[in-house]
């Protein structure tokens, strides 16, 4: 299957994973950039008002591929806003897709992700893999949102996350 990876990353975690997976699978990888720079304020406004930022490359980039693998963070329980234009585009131009994330996980997972993906694209993802930073941090009674949101994955984390992601992705390709 002709596969394309499209990633967005604000602090680098999902980009690092997407890059490794693209390299291992030898597939094309596009990194999303937004026409206006993302800040904590624009993130909050996007999530509160369901805004869809302008992005590059344009969503039509996926048309020549059989399956799209999206990589990006979860913000306030939802897919990061720079991914939205691509997800919304799949509603008009349906094709199999997966959503893979390194998210914080401090609040016990992101139970509404599957529902959001279905709503945006019209179809459930063939793969939904939400991997949590809270599981990489030292074990203690309570991992806080502040700790997970500022955590940058290290080399060992990246190896572990890549291995896990490749196992899951190979199951659908
Ligand atoms: C504004 C904001 C909101 C976030 N909300 C969530 C959330 O609801 N659930 C979650 O698991 N992680 C949440 N996170 C944590 C990010 O998903 C996590 O830090 C991720 O690894 C960042 O990915 P990136 O480095 O690719 O940008 C949030 C982070 C930010 C900055």
Q: What is the pLDDT of residue 140?
A: 58
Picking from 63, 64, 41, the residue whose alpha carbon sits closest to that of residue 51 is 41
* Dihedral (CA of 88, 94, 95, 99) sign: positive
CA 64 / ligand 1 centre spacing (Å):
30
CA 136 / ligand 1 centre spacing (Å):
14
Show pLDDT as tens, one digit a residue, over the chain (173 residues): 999 999 999 999 999 999 999 999 999 999 999 999 999 999 999 999 999 999 999 999 999 999 999 999 999 999 999 999 999 999 999 999 999 999 999 888 899 999 999 999 999 999 999 999 998 887 755 788 888 888 999 999 999 999 999 999 999 99
What is the assigned CATH class of domain 3-170?
alpha beta
**Best residue among 9, 73, 80, 152 to mutate for probing ligand 1, ranked by most atoms within 8 Å of CB:** 73
Give the separation between CA 151 and CA 153, rounded to whole angstroms. Answer: 6
Please give the DSSP secondary-structure letter assigned to residue 138. Answer: P
CA 57 / ligand 1 centre spacing (Å):
23
Distance set, CA 59 to CA 62, 145, 151 (Å): 6, 31, 30
* Domain map (residue ranges) of the chain: 3-170
In three-state secondary structure terms, 79 is strand
Q: What is the pLDDT of residue 81?
A: 98
87 Cβ neighbours under 8 A, 6+ residues apart: 70, 79, 97, 117, 120, 121
Instruction: Tell which atom from ligand 1 comes closest to the C-alpha of 102.
Output: 21
Q: What is the pLDDT of residue 157?
A: 95
Closest protein CA for atom 15 of ligand 1: 104
Q: Do 7 and 73 meet the contact criterion of CB atoms below 8 Å apart? A: no
Q: What is the pLDDT of residue 137?
A: 84
Please give the DSSP secondary-structure letter assigned to residue 11. Answer: S
User: Which amino acids bring their CB within 6 angstroms of ligand 1?
Assistant: 9-15, 43, 73-77, 102-105, 110, 133, 148-149
Q: What is the pLDDT of residue 141?
A: 57
Closest protein CA for atom 19 of ligand 1: 149
Q: What is the pLDDT of residue 145?
A: 87
């Amino acid at each position: 299957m002709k596969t394309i990876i499209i990633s967005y990353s604000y602090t680098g975690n999902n980009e690092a994973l997407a890059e490794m997976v693209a390299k291992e699978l030898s597939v094309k990888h596009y990194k999303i950039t937004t026409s206006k720079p993302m800040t904590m304020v624009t993130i909050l406004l996007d999530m509160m008002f369901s805004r869809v930022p302008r992005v590059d490359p344009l969503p039509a980039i996926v048309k020549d591929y059989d399956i799209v693998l999206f990589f990006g963070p979860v913000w306030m329980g939802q897919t990061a806003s720079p991914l939205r234009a691509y997800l919304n585009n799949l509603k008009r131009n349906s094709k199999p897709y997966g959503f893979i994330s390194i998210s914080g996980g401090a609040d016990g997972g992101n139970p509404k992700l599957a529902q959001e993906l279905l709503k945006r694209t019209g179809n459930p993802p063939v793969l939904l893999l939400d991997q949590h930073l809270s599981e990489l941090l030292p074990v203690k009674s309570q991992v806080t949102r502040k700790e997970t949101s500022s955590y940058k994955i290290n080399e060992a984390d990246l190896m572990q996350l890549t291995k896990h992601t490749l196992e899951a992705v190979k199951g659908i390709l």
